[in-house]
């Protein structure tokens, strides 16, 4: 009733809500609030997941409630807003999972994947590091290089996460594969199973690129975030052996025009308001990715920053 004193009865409800929120906090738009709410909701689910994972099981169905908020925030607010809000989280593993899920959603939208395949990639991004709940915080947060024993312990997290998901009743094969194999490399140099080539599925290849991309542009306990251009150079260098070159170029194209550097750590990073716009045909499928792998990728060959393996764990 009070609203009609300020607005015509014909005014749309959305217009009224927007005006009221602008009065409460004139510095934020409705889109800003949508993204903040999405990060908060998904972050709460992740925090609960990582907390209960220490017992060896999680609520596998509960994490489903975090998928749509990520996709909606990416579609309506764009990647840059997601990165800025995620930066407020101080828990490293939770923040990283939110960042990977955001990159996965952004990439899925760029590819025009179906709603089912978008959900698959985002789910995998959210839970892929659940096994880190079994790693001592002294190792996770160590501000320097890991020694060989610590590295061996850290490398147990993919298999540990896979075991946690299985014990929790997770049945989605892509989520299970991405959790166990997101550190596998096409040349067989990855872990925990030393898979190579066609043994690594397309969805896992995509998730691995998002995971490494996130690791490069976020601040870690032992280094500052890497500028976007340098991060893409590293990904292209890795595509010479371990990553899928064509899919690396798809990832690079998806973030073109969206300044994701540095995502975490520098509060003065520029904000790009560009929300999602479809750049490929909608309704695509993960099954169409082999066609991209058949195309010749042409990554730029330039001087590349060196990154230690520990930077990508």
Region of residue 20 (left: phi > 0; alpha: psi -120 to 50; beta: else) = alpha
| Range of weakest confidence among 216-220, 288-292, 307-311 | 307-311
Reduced 3-state DSSP string for 96-164: HHHHHHHHHHHHHHHHCECHHHHHHHHHHHHHCCHHHHHCCHHHHCCCCCCCHHHHHHHCCHHHHHHHH
CA distances (Å), 146 to each of 129, 142, 160, in order?
18, 7, 19
Residues 49 and 63 sit within 8 Å (Cβ to Cβ): yes
Q: What is the mean pLDDT of residues 236-261?
A: 90
**DSSP one-letter code for 267:** T
For residue 20, the surrounding DSSP H or E stretch is: helix 13-24
Residues 252 and 217 sit within 8 Å (Cβ to Cβ): no
Q: Round to whole Å and give the CA distance between 199 and 299.
A: 24
Residues 78 and 69 sit within 8 Å (Cβ to Cβ): no
What was the pLDDT predicted at 31? 83
Which residues form the catalytic set? 132
Q: Round to whole Å and give the CA distance between 191 and 183.
A: 6
CA distances (Å), 296 to each of 115, 249, 280, in order?
28, 10, 18
pLDDT surpassing 80 at residue 305: no
Residue where the block lists tokens 């960042």: 99
pLDDT tens for 173-215 read: 999 999 999 999 999 999 999 999 999 999 999 999 999 999 9
pLDDT tens for 30-60 read: 888 889 999 999 999 999 999 999 999 999 9
Q: Give this prediction's pTM.
A: 0.80
pLDDT band at 296 (very low <50, low <70, confident <90, very high): very low
Q: Where are the alpha helices (DSSP H) in 128-279?
A: 137-140, 148-154, 157-167, 173-181, 202-217, 228-238, 245-255
| Range of weakest confidence among 9-23, 36-50, 210-224 | 9-23
Q: How crowded is residue 262: how many other Cβ atoms within 10 Å of its Cβ? A: 22
Q: Round to whole Å and give the CA distance between 129 and 105.
A: 17
Residue 8 CA, chain-centre distance (Å), reads: 43
CA distances (Å), 227 to each of 141, 162, 212, 234, 270, in order?
22, 32, 14, 11, 12
Task: Express as a percent the part of the chain with pLDDT over 90.
Answer: 60
Q: Round to whole Å and give the CA distance between 41 and 66.
A: 7
């Amino acid at each position: 009733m009070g609203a009609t004193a300020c607005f015509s009865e014909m005014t749309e409800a959305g217009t009224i809500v927007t005006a009221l929120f602008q009065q409460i906090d004139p510095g934020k738009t409705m889109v800003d609030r949508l993204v903040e709410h999405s990060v908060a909701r998904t972050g709460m689910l992740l925090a609960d997941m990582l907390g209960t994972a220490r017992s060896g099981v999680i609520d596998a169905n509960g994490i489903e409630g975090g998928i749509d908020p990520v996709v909606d925030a990416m579609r309506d607010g764009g990647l840059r807003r997601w990165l800025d809000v995620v930066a407020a989280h101080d828990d490293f593993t939770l923040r990283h999972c939110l960042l990977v899920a955001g990159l996965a959603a952004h990439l899925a939208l760029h590819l025009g994947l179906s709603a089912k395949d978008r959900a698959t990639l985002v789910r995998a991004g959210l839970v892929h590091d659940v096994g880190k709940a079994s790693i001592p915080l002294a190792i996770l947060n160590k501000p320097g290089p890991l020694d060989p024993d610590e590295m061996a312990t850290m490398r147990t997290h993919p298999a540990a996460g896979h075991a946690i998901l299985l014990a929790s009743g997770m049945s989605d094969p892509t989520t299970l594969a991405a959790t166990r194999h997101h550190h596998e490399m096409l040349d067989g140099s990855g872990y925990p199973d030393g898979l190579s080539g066609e043994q690594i599925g397309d969805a896992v290849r995509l998730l691995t690129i998002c995971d490494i991309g996130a690791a490069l542009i976020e601040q870690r306990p032992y280094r500052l975030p890497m500028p976007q251009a340098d991060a893409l150079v590293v990904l292209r260098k890795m595509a010479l052996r371990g990553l899928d070159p064509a899919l690396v170029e798809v990832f690079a194209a998806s973030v073109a025009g969206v300044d994701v550097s540095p995502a975490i750590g520098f509060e003065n990073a520029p904000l790009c308001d560009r929300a999602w716009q479809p750049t490929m045909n909608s309704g695509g499928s993960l099954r169409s990715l082999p066609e991209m792998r058949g195309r010749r990728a042409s990554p730029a060959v330039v001087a590349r920053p060196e990154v230690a393996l520990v930077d990508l764990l």
